[in-house]
Every structure is written in structure tokens, then in C-alpha cells.
């Protein structure tokens, strides 16, 4: 079998008939491969020139001004409330230091592989999750799910930021408003009742609490220069955590708190409990924002030859280290509070809202110059929340712009305004119930299911695993360069076997628990 082509294409091989050349399929494949290599080299050379000049490769979408801004934005997006109040509580609940074993394993076999995968998807396609998922029509709903999760959690984060801003301004007085009550002895909330003004149930919405709603006004302008703002918001929390750790370590009872958090007293028998492994997987997904769509959206603004593998390692290690470090900060202070109240640590340690807005503020109120420590703590919470919000709003804007490019190409301000308007509705008297609802159902088991479907997406349902895996790996090598066979063997093992097996097992232990707000 031969293919006939104009002789102008392959003049070196021609037949007697003028104007026609004859070339075998093998020779044609060789020539086309050489042409492909030359085009790729030319494209790579052009892109590298743009990279060195600082110009945008993608003139329609734009690119990050520098790699540093991207890495700081991703770290700020990933390091959030879950690192400060969720991880320490889970560690205490599931055997202290023993919890680090399932957490580290889940980070290695699920967190890092999926983080690398999502970053590669976004960077290679230069598209948000909705367009990325269009390549597999049967799974397009996963992209929509990611958008909905990011939208709801953005609303939920804004409410927490509003509470933090309210507490920040309430801290500029002495004594602190919540220091007049022993929250653990009376069972009352440390936060002032006027702050939340909760109704008896979520069915009674009540009017808008305007002093909470007004706390959200700064978010209208918050994302316009997020790439520059992260230089402060991504680094300031670490400064505050370090200061609070030094202060907490000098207090009486700090040793007891740290021993309760992680020590030789760790309960290794907890590792036999399936709930421990499920919570470890959920925490990894929650803290790294895997399956939220944010990683795809933010990495879609990378330049094509950015080393997304290196970025994934840096962010995952930083995130894990921050969680462990924050645990020492929190429990050194709670150990002091247990010493003051003369109670066991198990009675003062709590989770979520109770830890951030009840237990820890109460512990800070027992210190000398308590307003200073309270201001630093709530300012840290605000910067953690804003960092995640900068990325969260960017995610929503990218979702909508990719879905409706002709209508929303240059109207990101409208998206921000719409999110904030919806958020005002959650500043009503029943808003705290909705926040608890979103936190439970939008940032839990659904992430594990979406992550499992992501692995399915990387293995195209029509192609054999070997073919689709090779194509996916070649796409990544175009961006980060050629790697060894052993390197890709390890990643193949994770993406195509270990990760889906672990996630499938974890989803088998998901149980519905009736949600209560106390």
C-alpha cells in the first residue's frame, strides 16, 4: 500500500508521472515525526522566549506575573482553616501522634498524586474544570460539582471571615468581652450573644444581622490584586503561628497539652478503626483542596513549561508541615487552659467553630496583655480566610468564564458581587446553621467521590489503561521534560491502581450522621 502526495512535499521520491510522488507508510511516518519534532522545538523556543521576556503566553486568559506569585497563591489557597482547627482536633480524636500514620499515607497515595494530576490538567489545557471535563462527556457533571462545592464553600468561608473581623474589633478592649465567663464551667458560648444572635432553629431565618453583613464589604474589592496581596497574606499566618508557639511554650501546662496532641501516649490501637482512615483521607482532600476545581483553575494561568511537579511537592509538604506545626501552637495554649481550670485536656479540646471561637479565645484571655494575643490570632484567621477566598472567587470566575466566554469574558466584578449578595443572606440570624450544614456536606465525603472520578477521567473509559496512561504521561512530559521509566512507573502505580483502591475502600465507610448544632 502506498500514499500519493504532491511532489512538492517530498521531491526526493517521485514517480515517472510528473507532479506525483510515491512514498511508503514507513517513510511517511518518519517524515511526519521529524516535522512534529521540528514544530515542537520551534514552539518550545518561542514559548521560552516569551517566558524570559515576562510576556503572557496566553493573551486571552493571561498568565501569572511570576512563578513566585503562583506558588504563594496555591499555598495560601491550600493552607486555611482546616490546618489550624480541623487537623489538631482530628489528631486528638484519633490517637494523637498515631493519626500521623494514616494522614501521611493518605497524603502519599492520594493527596500528592491527585494534586499533581489536577495541576497538570489545568496547566496543559489552560482551561478551568468545566472545559477540562468536557473531554469525557459522561463525567461532565464532576466539573459542575466542583463549581458548586467551591461556590458554597466560598460563601461559608466569607461567613467565618466576617466572624473573625467582628472578633478582631471586639479584641480592642480590656478586659476581653468573653473573659468574664468560664465557658467550660457554665456551658455558655464565649462569643458574645449579640455577635451571632442565633435563632432557635434554621427554620427561623430572622432578619439580617447588619453588623455581620458589613464585615463582608472588604471582600468586594479583595480579589483585584490577589497576586500581589498573597505576599502578605500567605506569609503573615506563619509569623503569627511562630509567635504564638513561643508564647504558648512558656506557659504552665503547655507540656501536658503537647503530650495530649502527640507523644509516646499515642493510641496505636486507633489505627484498626476504619473511621480514622476515612477522616485522614477527608482531611487531606479538605486541606489540599483536591477535587474542588481550584487547582485546575489556578494552574490554568501557568505558563506551559512550568514545572508543575516541583510545585506540587512544595505545596503538599508545606501544607502537611503547617498542619502539624499548628497543632503544637493550638495545644500548647489549650494545655495552659486545662492547667488553669484544673481539668483534663479532653474536656477543653474541641473542634471547628468551638475551637477557634470558644476554646482558644478563652485561653488567650487568661494571658497578660490578652488583647494583643487576641488581635494577632484573629488577624491570622482573617488572612488565612482571605487567601482561600482570593483563590475561591478566582475559581468561580474561571468556571463561569469558561462556560460562557462570550458573555462573561471581562465581567469578573459581577461574579464577586453576586457571591457577596448571596452571602448577605447568610448573615441572618439562622446563618450559623447553614454554615454548619455546608461545612458538613460540601467539604466531606463528596470530595472523596469526586477524587475517585478524577482518576477514572485520567484513564479514559474508551481506551485501554496502557494507551491512555501513555498519552497522559506524554502530555506531562511536554511540560516538565522527559523523566525516567522508574519515575513514571511509580506514578502509574498510584494513578491507575493504589489511589483508586484506597479511595474506593474509604468510600465504603461513609455513613450518614444526623447533623446537630450545639
Give the model confidence (pLDDT) of 278-325 as tens digits. 888 888 888 888 888 888 888 888 888 888 899 999 999 999 899 889
What is d(CA 34, CA 410) in angstroms, rounded to the nearest whole number? Answer: 41
Residue pointed to by grid coordinates 461574579: 415
Same domain? 409 vs 266? yes
- C-alpha grid cell, residue 317: 509538604
Which residues 6+ apart lie within 8 Å of 107 measured at CB? 284, 316, 320
- Burial class of residue 410 (count of CB atoms within 10 Å of its CB; 0-12, 13-18, 19+): exposed
Average pLDDT over residues 229-238: 79
Q: Tell whether 76 is in a known binding site.
A: yes
pLDDT category at 248 given cuts 50, 70, 90 is: confident
- The pLDDT score that the predictor gives to residue 189 is 41
- Asked if pLDDT for residue 1 goes beyond 50, the answer is no
**What are the phi and psi torsion angles at 20 (to 5°)?**
-130, 135
Cβ(336)–Cβ(263) below 8 Å: no
- The region, left, alpha or beta by phi > 0 then psi within -120 to 50, assigned to residue 206 is left
Grid cell 479583595 is found at 222
Biggest distance spanned by C-alpha atoms of the chain: 103
Share of the chain above pLDDT 90, in %: 3
Residue 350 gets the label, from left (phi > 0), alpha (psi -120 to 50) or beta, of beta
Mean pLDDT of 11-20: 44
Residue 20, annotated as binding a ligand = no
| Distance (Å, whole) CA 177 – CA 171 | 8
Contact between residue 205 and residue 429 where contact means Cβ atoms under 8 Å apart: yes
Say if residue 23 is in the same domain as residue 83.
Answer: no
Which among 412, 407, 105, 411 is positioned nearest to 276, based on CA atoms? Answer: 105
Task: Identify whether residues 28 and 153 lie together within a single domain.
Answer: no
Which pTM does this prediction carry?
0.78
* Residue-averaged pLDDT of the chain: 73
pLDDT at residue 194, as a whole number: 43
To the question of whether residue 79 is assigned a binding role by annotation, the answer is yes
Per-residue pLDDT for 459 more than 80? Answer: no
469 located within any domain: yes
Picking from 42-51, 275-284, 291-300, 424-433, which range would have the lowest pLDDT averaged per residue?
42-51
Pair (10, 135) in one structural domain: no
* Structural domain contains residue 52: no
Helix axes 226-233, 236-249, angle to 10 degrees: 10
> 132 and 183 share a domain?
yes
Q: What is the per-residue DSSP string for 197-209?
A: ---SSTT---SB-
- DSSP character at residue 5: E
Contacts 24+ apart (CB under 8 A), 102-108: 102/271, 102/276, 102/277, 102/280, 103/280, 103/283, 103/284, 103/320, 104/320, 105/280, 106/277, 106/280, 106/281, 106/283, 106/284, 106/502, 107/284, 107/316, 107/320
- Write out pLDDT tens, residues 114-136: 999 888 888 888 887 878 887 77
Q: Are residues 255 and 302 in the same domain?
A: yes
* Residue 438 belongs to domain spanning: 67-507
Asked if residue 436 belongs to a known ligand binding site, the reply is: no
State whether 231 and 372 are in the same domain: yes
> Within a domain: residue 213?
yes
- Cell numbers found for residue 325: 506545626
Assigned domain for 513 exists: no
Q: Are residues 289 and 405 in the same domain?
A: yes
Q: Where is average pLDDT lowest: 42-56, 87-101, 249-263?
A: 42-56
**Whether residue 108 sits in one domain with residue 31:** no
Out of 39-53, 117-131, 196-210, give the one with best mean pLDDT: 117-131
Q: At which residue does the C-alpha cell 512507573 appear?
A: 489
pLDDT (average), residues 245-249: 88
451 is known to lie in a ligand binding site? no
Question: Residue 51 falls within a domain, yes or no?
Answer: no
* 402 annotated to bind ligand: no
Cα 80 off chain centre by: 8
Confirm whether 515 is domain-assigned.
Answer: no
User: 5: annotated binding-site residue?
Assistant: no
E strand intervals along 266-347: none
- Whether residue 60 is contained in a domain is answered as no
Q: Are residues 113 and 12 in the same domain?
A: no
What are the tens digits of pLDDT across the range 482-501?
788 888 888 888 888 888 88
Does residue 405 have a pLDDT over 80? Answer: no
Domain count of the fold of the chain: 2
* CATH number for 71: 1.10.4160
106 to each of 76, 100, 305, 321, how far by Cα in Å? 21, 10, 29, 15
Task: Convert the pLDDT of each residue in 326-360 to its tens digit.
Answer: 888 888 888 888 888 787 776 666 655 667 777 77
104 lies in the same domain as 153:
yes
CB 333 within 8 A of CB 248: yes
Judge whether 199 lies within some domain: yes
Is 300 marked within a binding site? no
On whether 72 is known to bind a ligand per the annotation, the reply is no
pLDDT tens, residue by residue, 372-381: 888 988 888 8
Distance CA 56, CA 86 (A): 39
Residue 243 has which C-alpha cell? Answer: 509567635
Check whether residue 145 and residue 15 sit in a common domain. Answer: no
162 has pLDDT over 80: no
Amino acid at each position: 500500500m502506498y500514499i500519493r502526495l504532491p511532489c512538492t512535499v517530498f521531491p526526493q521520491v517521485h514517480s515517472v508521472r510528473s507532479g506525483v510522488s510515491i512514498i511508503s507508510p514507513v517513510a511517511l511516518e518518519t517524515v511526519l515525526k521529524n516535522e512534529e519534532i521540528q514544530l515542537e522545538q520551534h514552539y518550545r523556543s518561542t514559548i521560552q522566549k516569551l517566558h524570559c521576556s515576562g510576556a503572557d503566553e496566553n493573551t486571552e486568559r493571561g498568565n501569572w506575573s511570576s512563578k513566585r506569585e503562583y506558588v504563594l497563591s496555591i499555598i495560601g489557597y491550600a493552607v486555611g482553616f482546616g490546618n489550624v482547627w480541623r487537623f489538631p482536633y482530628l489528631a486528638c480524636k484519633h490517637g494523637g501522634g498515631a493519626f500521623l500514620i494514616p494522614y501521611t499515607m493518605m497524603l502519599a497515595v492520594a493527596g500528592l498524586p491527585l494534586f499533581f494530576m489536577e495541576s497538570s490538567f489545568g496547566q496543559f489545557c489552560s482551561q478551568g474544570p468545566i472545559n477540562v471535563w468536557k473531554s469525557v462527556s459522561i463525567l461532565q457533571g464532576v466539573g459542575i460539582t466542583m463549581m458548586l462545592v467551591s461556590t458554597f464553600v466560598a460563601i461559608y468561608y466569607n461567613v467565618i471571615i466576617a466572624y473573625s473581623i467582628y472578633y478582631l474589633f471586639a479584641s480592642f478592649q480590656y478586659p476581653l468581652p468573653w473573659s468574664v465567663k468560664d465557658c467550660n464551667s457554665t456551658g455558655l458560648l464565649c462569643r458574645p450573644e449579640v455577635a451571632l444572635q442565633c435563632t432557635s432553629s434554621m427554620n427561623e431565618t430572622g432578619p439580617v444581622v447588619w453588623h455581620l453583613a458589613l464585615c463582608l464589604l472588604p471582600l468586594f474589592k479583595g480579589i483585584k490584586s490577589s497576586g500581589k496581596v498573597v505576599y502578605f497574606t500567605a506569609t503573615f499566618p506563619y509569623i503569627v503561628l511562630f509567635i504564638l508557639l513561643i508564647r504558648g511554650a512558656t506557659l504552665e501546662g503547655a507540656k501536658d497539652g503537647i503530650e495530649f496532641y502527640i507523644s509516646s501516649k499515642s493510641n496505636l490501637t486507633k489505627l484498626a478503626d476504619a473511621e480514622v482512615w476515612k477522616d485522614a483521607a477527608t482531611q487531606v482532600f479538605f486541606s489540599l483542596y483536591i477535587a474542588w476545581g481550584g487547582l485546575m483553575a489556578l494552574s490554568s494561568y501557568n505558563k506551559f513549561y512550568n514545572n508543575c511537579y516541583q510545585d506540587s511537592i512544595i505545596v503538599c509538604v508545606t501544607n502537611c508541615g503547617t498542619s502539624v506545626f499548628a497543632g503544637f501552637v493550638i495545644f500548647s495554649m489549650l494545655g495552659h487552659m486545662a492547667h488553669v481550670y484544673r481539668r483534663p485536656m479532653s474536656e477543653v479540646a474541641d473542634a471547628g467553630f468551638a475551637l477557634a471561637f470558644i476554646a482558644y479565645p478563652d485561653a488567650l484571655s487568661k494571658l497578660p496583655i490578652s488583647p494583643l494575643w487576641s488581635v494577632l490570632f484573629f488577624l491570622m484567621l482573617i488572612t488565612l480566610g482571605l487567601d482561600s477566598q482570593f483563590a475561591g472567587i478566582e475559581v468561580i470566575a474561571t468556571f463561569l468564564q469558561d462556560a460562557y466566554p462570550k458573555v462573561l469574558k471581562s465581567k469578573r466584578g459581577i461574579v464577586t458581587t453576586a457571591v457577596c449578595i448571596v452571602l448577605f443572606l447568610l448573615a441572618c440570624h439562622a446563618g450559623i446553621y447553614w454554615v454548619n450544614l455546608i461545612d458538613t456536606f460540601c467539604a466531606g465525603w463528596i470530595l472523596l467521590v469526586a477524587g475517585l472520578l478524577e482518576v477514572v477521567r485520567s484513564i479514559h473509559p474508551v481506551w485501554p489503561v496502557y494507551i491512555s496512561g501513555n498519552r497522559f504521561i506524554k502530555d506531562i512530559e511536554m511540560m516538565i521534560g522527559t523523566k525516567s521509566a522508574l519515575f513514571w512507573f511509580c506514578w502509574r502505580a498510584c494513578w491507575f491502581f493504589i489511589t483508586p483502591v484506597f479511595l474506593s475502600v474509604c468510600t465504603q465507610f461513609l455513613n450518614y450522621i444526623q447533623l446537630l448544632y450545639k
